[in-house]
Structure 1
Amino acid sequence: MTAQQAHRRFLTLIALRWLPVGLMIPVIVLLPLERGLTLAQYGSAAALQGLTVLLLELPTGGLSDALGRRPVLLMAGAVDIAALTLLTVADSVALFVVFYVLQGVYRALDSGPLEAWYVDHALAADGKADIETGLSRSGAVLGVAIAAGALITGGLVALGPVGPITALSLPVYVALTLQIVSMVAVATLMTEERRGRGLAALAASVRGVPAAVGGALRLLRRSRVIVALVAVEVFWGFGMVTFESLTPVRLADVLGDPTEASALMGPVGSAAWLASAAGAALIPLLARRIGAPWTGFTLRILQGLTVVGMAVFAGPVGVVAAFLICYTVHGAASPVHNGLLHRQVDGPYRASLLSLNSMVGQPAGALGLVVLTAVATHVNLVAALLLGAAVLAVAAPLYLVGRRAAPDTVATAPQEVVPAP
């Protein structure tokens, strides 16, 4: 497979993976509230997703390095189908708890294998492949896919209920269907050399997981740049709650009508992810001019300021404008962060390192959900947004840790062989 073929397949699978997410984003907070949960109950249940990822992220990343990217992504798709099926009927705190635990398993399995598959194939075909541009384009495709999903959800909610299915529940059924399509696409397009067959091969791959996990942890210990990047993810994960989860609540607050806010979040969410796509597409121009570390620093400060804008603007126009700028910055920041991370590793533990990065972000997001929803409940929503903004901005100096490192300096993985089937 050529680098160009890997790139095209990667972008196709990215689009199919994130389209169902776009459908869910406008309703994922308001749906539990419609079904009887309080905001604090939602936050506590959703936090279990991050805690589940914390437990499973590194082992599943190691499984991807040992067993293969494709089988792990197929397992992830099956778990997400089960979770979305449950969400169609969830109407209690207990059922939402199970849903978010399943989502945590899905996110742990899904985190890293596809991106690692692309980088592995691109660099194998061409050692000088421009993976940063590929990652930026994937960010643009991701944004467009989520925008399309959010726009569809806005239309579905505006059309109202269909029989016994409420307006807020209808996007869940569509997302479930699209997740099945995505799983079929992974099985069809994502090719890799098989590492063995049967139970003996599986057992050998499982035995390789501890070595993969240990390799990623040793990379962390050996590189202060990786430590800094992982620390950024902690602050980022906490602060993302402000614009990922609290924006619909903020709109409902300024509009005085949760249903109107839900309908508005469809087109607004769509526009936000188009803005994210634009940010991801344009950011290589800035990164080439001032360097990736300073670009990351600037984006973290700017994103904190946009969340402040969401908090202090009193009308829906101001809140929406700040939200759109926030997502432009968010889309630009992701390829910069991931490109810096990929350039720090040269060895067999790429997916494990990505999982390590994601692992710290998920529980940080869980903590953010608990803390910020509690602040919103017991103080006010504006205070919660301002706290999240401060946490986003405080991570900015961490990007400058590696500014003196040579561009091609990487932490080479320890020369251990993962047991092959």
Structure 2
Amino acid sequence: MSARRYLAAFGLAGLGKGLLLPVLSLLLLSRGLDAGTLALATGAFALTVVLLELPSGMLSDRWGRRRVYLVAHTIGAAGDLVLAFTGQAFGGMMLLGAAAAFESGSLSSLFFQRWIDARGKETLPRAASWMNLLETGGLAVGALAGGAVGAAAPAFLLPYAPLLLARFALRLGALAAAAGIPADPPLPHAARRKPDGWRRMASNRPLILLLAGGVVLGAALGNLETYWQPHLEQLAGGYTPLLGVMSCISMFGAAAGMAIIGRFAARLRLEWVYAVFQLAVAGWLAVLGHITNLWGYVGGFGALYLCLGGSDLARTSMLQAAIPPAQRATVMSVDSLLCRLGAMLGSGAAAVALTYVGVPALWTGLGLVLAAGIGVQLLCGVTRTAGLSVKK
């Protein structure tokens, strides 16, 4: 199996996503939205993803994972053009939401399945490391480029259109890379109706625990992503260029954590790597808001994402080793959906909690909840099943 086309598609897609990260809200405001309708537009994106996440994963398993990936970027390209040349912000965001849902778990599930078939489960950390490094690196580079080009946006006749056209071109590159990958045949009709894979999955306690843990992780990280920027400005006494630096620190920190664990994965039990690094994430989250020194806060933020990268690599490898092949894309979509639902639930809980406490106390509470969740997983046996270990 040659991984080059897969990795090229992952890298180009990540680069395209990164281009809009620093300026998406400004782009939508330039298309006629105000503060109130901006929240509705981003909500339309999130709702579209949630509604299509699971159906798109099931379609990937049944119709073909490469096909669904090609459909995803075709829809996304249409969304880029709508946002670039029209004022239909809601329509554009819904198209981008549909593209995100269809992309989730499609080509990546095919990549992992063919990697396992060719090289075995024991090499999964290497596959996860390469995929995550290309995606995260693309996001980081794209965010830097998007911030630089976005600063000149008012000079263009159509603000931010060059960024959207650049992302459109990157989507075409990802489509070309994926089109050269051998197609996976649709799932045979008999296999679609066979319940054995689902029964095995439902009886796999560590897999269920990992999926459930994604809800707690999504709630914790969702609130961190929401409030780290205003908290940084509070420590800095106003706007600071460190906002852009911190975005890069999170991406490169996670990539570094993945690279470190990927380098030593053959000597480690990934179940314990997952548990230890998740507990480290919980610890940093609990104390981060109480760090009053600006540079200490920046360092703690980077350390948190370094630990998150290591735990994410271990978790991804464990999940891929446990998922039944016929349901791989569906389960990956379920995992993504649960993380998104966790973020939504966490946002609702934070809205209530922040009427009584500040952000530091909120983060401390979420850190304790995350640590408790890891404790429950340990007690229930997330580390005691050899089927999830990729270490021989």
User: In which range does the TM-score fall when normalised by the shorter chain?
Assistant: 0.7 to 0.9
CA contact (8 A) 2:218 2:342 kept: yes
- Pick closer, same or farther for the CA change 1:158–1:102 going to 2, 3 Å: closer
Separation in 2, partners of 1:366, 1:144: 26
CA deviation map 1:277-299 (0-9, x unaligned)? 11111114565555222211122
State the one-letter code of the partner of 2:124: I
Partner of 2:69: 73
2:272 to 294, 298, 311: 294
Deviation at 1:235, TM superposition (A): 0.9
State the one-letter code of the partner of 1:240: L
CA contact (8 A) 1:144 1:273 kept: yes
Partner of 2:207: 226
1:135 aligns with 2:115: no
Partner of 1:237: 218
State the one-letter code of the partner of 2:73: G
Deviation at 1:355, TM superposition (A): 1.6
Deviation at 1:61, TM superposition (A): 1.3
- Pick closer, same or farther for the CA change 1:161–1:96 going to 2, 3 Å: closer
1:337 aligns with 2:315: yes
Deviation at 1:320, TM superposition (A): 2.5
1:110 aligns with 2:88: no
Separation in 2, partners of 1:234, 1:299: 17
1:365 to 320, 330, 343: 343
Separation in 2, partners of 1:55, 1:160: 33
Partner of 2:7: 11
State the one-letter code of the partner of 1:231: A
CA deviation map 1:233-258 (0-9, x unaligned)? 1111112213433333333444454x
- Pick closer, same or farther for the CA change 1:248–1:79 going to 2, 3 Å: farther
Partner of 1:59: 55
Deviation at 1:379, TM superposition (A): 5.5
- Pick closer, same or farther for the CA change 1:364–1:32 going to 2, 3 Å: farther
1:324 to 302, 312, 316: 302
1:278 aligns with 2:243: no
State the one-letter code of the partner of 2:71: M
Separation in 2, partners of 1:30, 1:373: 24
- Pick closer, same or farther for the CA change 1:402–1:315 going to 2, 3 Å: closer
Please list, as runs of the form range in 1=range in 2, the aligned pairs for 1:156-167 lying within 5 A after superposition: 156-159=149-152, 161-164=154-157
Separation in 2, partners of 1:358, 1:291: 24
1:314 aligns with 2:302: no
Partner of 1:192: 183
State the one-letter code of the partner of 2:128: L
Partner of 1:121: 114
User: Which stretch has the larger CA shift, 156-165 or 27-36?
Assistant: 27-36
1:304 aligns with 2:285: no
Residue aligned with 1:192, SS: coil
Separation in 1, partners of 2:377, 2:353: 29
CA contact (8 A) 1:80 1:106 kept: yes
Separation in 2, partners of 1:378, 1:42: 27
- Pick closer, same or farther for the CA change 1:255–1:342 going to 2, 3 Å: same
Deviation at 1:64, TM superposition (A): 0.9
Deviation at 1:148, TM superposition (A): 0.8
Aligned residues: 387
State the one-letter code of the partner of 2:282: G
Residue aligned with 1:404, SS: coil
Q: Structure 2: any 5+ residue segments left out of the alignment?
A: none
- Pick closer, same or farther for the CA change 1:209–1:286 going to 2, 3 Å: same
Separation in 2, partners of 1:181, 1:374: 44
State the one-letter code of the partner of 2:270: A
- Pick closer, same or farther for the CA change 1:219–1:358 going to 2, 3 Å: farther
Separation in 1, partners of 2:205, 2:127: 26
Residue aligned with 2:317, SS: helix
Deviation at 1:126, TM superposition (A): 3.8
CA contact (8 A) 2:221 2:343 kept: yes
CA deviation map 1:136-181 (0-9, x unaligned)? 1222222221121122123234556323455x78645543442333
1:153 to 142, 146, 151: 146
Partner of 2:245: 267
1:22 to 18, 32, 37: 18
Residue aligned with 2:22, SS: coil
CA deviation map 1:43-62 (0-9, x unaligned)? 66545544444432222112
Separation in 1, partners of 2:336, 2:357: 30
1:349 aligns with 2:349: no
Separation in 1, partners of 2:265, 2:283: 20
Partner of 2:371: 393
State the one-letter code of the partner of 1:227: I
- Pick closer, same or farther for the CA change 1:74–1:29 going to 2, 3 Å: same
* Superposition CA RMSD, Å: 3.5
CA contact (8 A) 1:47 1:369 kept: no
- Pick closer, same or farther for the CA change 1:308–1:41 going to 2, 3 Å: farther
Separation in 2, partners of 1:66, 1:282: 36
State the one-letter code of the partner of 2:245: P
- Pick closer, same or farther for the CA change 1:406–1:150 going to 2, 3 Å: same
Partner of 2:386: 406
Separation in 1, partners of 2:355, 2:156: 34
1:144 to 119, 137, 146: 137
- Pick closer, same or farther for the CA change 1:179–1:339 going to 2, 3 Å: same
CA deviation map 1:339-366 (0-9, x unaligned)? 1111113432211221221221122222
Separation in 2, partners of 1:31, 1:376: 29
